[in-house]
């Protein structure tokens, strides 16, 4: 069994469409992963990293209802298995295949859960999943800001996208658990905060700060605030849809992943318009807010910064984020992992994938030529310094992960059987608890 703190990185696999569905922003293609995927997995061992946030190109793999092309998946996951790298499998990252359309499609949740089930049964040794990445951001950029996929610009399209993304996530967790009873889910979600620029902006900032929790509230079956409930009902969610989320939470299988970047905090103007505030509260303060709300294990699932003109800006950001991780851990928050995202530089995130410019963003542990950056050297040293220290602080902060090479061990099989029995008991107890 793998124990200890989870040091991770990721392969960027965003794939939304822009220009009304005519252009696919495939980050795996832009960053050269289809060509260098074997080299990319080799780099993980060079860094001393055994956990990888990784997903398939959904638009290339999921060809239609019940139709899949597993050719790339079989090769890539066989290599991860051979290297004993633990993937945190990212099944949907900002985009869907053309035949699905977009996140306004009411059939998407059920169709996607079929895909999740097919994946889990094809790769039964995979234990960790992020079924749908950053549901809030995906719904915001696709349904309200008009940037991606359906390019909606109203509350109705935002709520529709959000409820479909959240339901797809919940249904997929249910299906994956049927195939892998001890599966664990890392809900990678952006941790946001909205600061009022002046007294007239207090009300819109309060509304935005309530809505930032929506995707996790739905996934974890938490009753939303009364104003937010009215907002959902006014913009297309039905009572039956809302109660689906209250009745189907699986938070006891989940780790709450908090993503934090310099762009996660915002200044709100009186008219509701936003502009970036830069880092005011920081990861530690905002993560405390999320933990206070959900009381769940936490993982820092995404962060990065550009290398910058001085060459050390990313290293300084890494040190700052790590200091924040240690701070929340020392304050008693059960934080179990940290991620620099991603392994290599990215492309066109300077425009949030709204423009197909081919601009390389120097955010990775390695550049696109697969040469290590200063932040890669610093992260490798950080892992060496801390990997043996953190697990000794508390055995309660170690996640029970079965390594790929241990999947068929007798104790691992018993563990999965026990997970089935536990799920049955938990579901029976939940039925007996009256609603608040």
Grouped pLDDT means (10 residues each) for the chain, 436 residues: 85 97 98 98 97 97 98 98 97 98 98 98 98 98 98 98 98 98 96 97 96 98 96 98 96 96 97 95 98 96 96 97 96 95 98 98 98 98 89 58 87 80 57 39
| 343, 345, 349, 353 alpha-carbon torsion, rounded to 10° | -80
The number of beta carbons lying within 10 Å of the beta carbon of residue 28 is: 21
CA atoms within 13 A on the CB side of 72: 17
428 DSSP assignment: H
The CATH homologous superfamily to which domain 6-407 belongs is Glycosidases (3.20.20.80)
Cis (ω within 30 of 0) for the bond into 268?
no
3-state DSSP assignment of residue 48: coil
Give the separation between CA 216 and CA 218, rounded to whole angstroms.
5
Other beta carbons less than 10 A from residue 71's beta carbon? 10
- Break the chain into its structural domains and give their ranges: 6-407
Q: Are 401 and 2 in contact (CB under 8 A)?
A: yes
CB 328 within 8 A of CB 288: yes
| Residue-level pLDDT at 175 | 98
Report how far residue 214's alpha carbon sits from residue 231's, in angstroms, rounded to the nearest whole number: 11
Q: Which secondary structure element, helix H or strand E, spans residue 187, and what is its range?
A: strand 184-190
Q: If you write DSSP's letter for every residue of 356-394 in order, what string do you get?
A: ----EE--SSB-TTSPBPHHHHHHHHHHHHHTTTGGGT-
Kindly report the number of other CB atoms within 10 A of residue 413's CB atom. Answer: 12
51: left (phi over 0), alpha (psi -120 to 50) or beta: beta
Q: What does the pLDDT read at residue 425?
A: 55
Token output for 16: 């939304």
Tokens 């405390």, residue located: 288
Tell me what pLDDT residue 351 has.
98
Helices (H), 135-181: 135-143, 155-179
- Tell me the C-alpha to C-alpha distance, in Å, between residue 179 and each of 119, 186, 424: 10, 17, 15
What's the CA gap between 99 and 425, in Å, rounded?
Answer: 40
């Amino acid at each position: 069994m793998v124990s200890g703190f989870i040091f991770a990185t990721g392969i960027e696999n965003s794939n939304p469409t822009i220009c009304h569905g005519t252009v696919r922003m495939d980050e795996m293609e832009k960053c050269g992963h289809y060509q260098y995927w074997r080299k990319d997995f080799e780099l993980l061992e060079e860094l001393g990293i055994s956990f990888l946030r990784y997903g398939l190109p959904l638009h290339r793999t999921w060809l239609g209802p019940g139709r899949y092309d597993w050719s790339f998946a079989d090769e890539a996951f066989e290599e991860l298995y051979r290297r004993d790298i633990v993937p945190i499998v990212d099944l949907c990252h900002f985009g869907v295949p053309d035949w699905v359309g977009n996140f306004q499609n009411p059939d998407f949740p059920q169709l996607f859960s079929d895909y999740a089930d097919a994946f889990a049964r094809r790769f039964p040794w995979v234990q960790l999943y992020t079924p749908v990445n950053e549901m809030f951001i995906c719904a915001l950029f696709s349904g309200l800001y008009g940037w991606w996929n359906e390019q909606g610009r109203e509350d109705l399209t935002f709520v529709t996208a959000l409820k479909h993304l959240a339901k797809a996530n919940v249904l997929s967790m249910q299906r994956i658990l049927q195939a892998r009873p001890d599966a664990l889910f890392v809900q990678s979600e952006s941790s946001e905060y909205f600061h009022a620029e002046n007294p007239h902006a207090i009300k819109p900032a309060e509304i935005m700060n309530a809505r930032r929790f929506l995707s996790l509230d739905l996934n974890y079956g938490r009753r939303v605030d009364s104003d937010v409930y009215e907002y959902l009902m006014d913009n297309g969610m039905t009572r039956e849809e809302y109660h689906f989320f209250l009745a189907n939470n699986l938070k006891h299988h989940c780790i709450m992943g908090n993503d934090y970047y310099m762009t996660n905090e915002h200044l709100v103007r009186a008219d509701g318009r936003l502009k970036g505030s830069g880092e005011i509260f920081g990861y530690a303060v905002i993560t405390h807010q999320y933990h206070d709300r959900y009381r769940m294990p936490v993982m820092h699932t995404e962060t990065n910064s550009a290398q910058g003109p001085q060459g050390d800006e990313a290293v300084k950001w890494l040190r700052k984020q790590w200091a924040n991780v240690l701070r929340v851990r020392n304050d008693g928050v059960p934080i179990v992992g940290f991620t620099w995202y991603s392994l290599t530089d990215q492309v066109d995130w300077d425009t949030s994938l709204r423009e197909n410019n081919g601009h390389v963003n120097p955010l990775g542990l390695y550049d696109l030529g697969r040469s290590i950056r200063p932040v890669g050297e610093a992260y490798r040293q950080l892992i060496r310094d801390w990997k043996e220290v953190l697990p000794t602080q508390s055995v309660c902060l170690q996640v029970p992960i079965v390594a790929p090479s241990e999947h068929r061990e007798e104790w691992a099989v018993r563990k999965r059987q026990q997970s089935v029995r536990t799920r049955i008991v938990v579901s029976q107890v939940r039925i007996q608890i009256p609603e608040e």
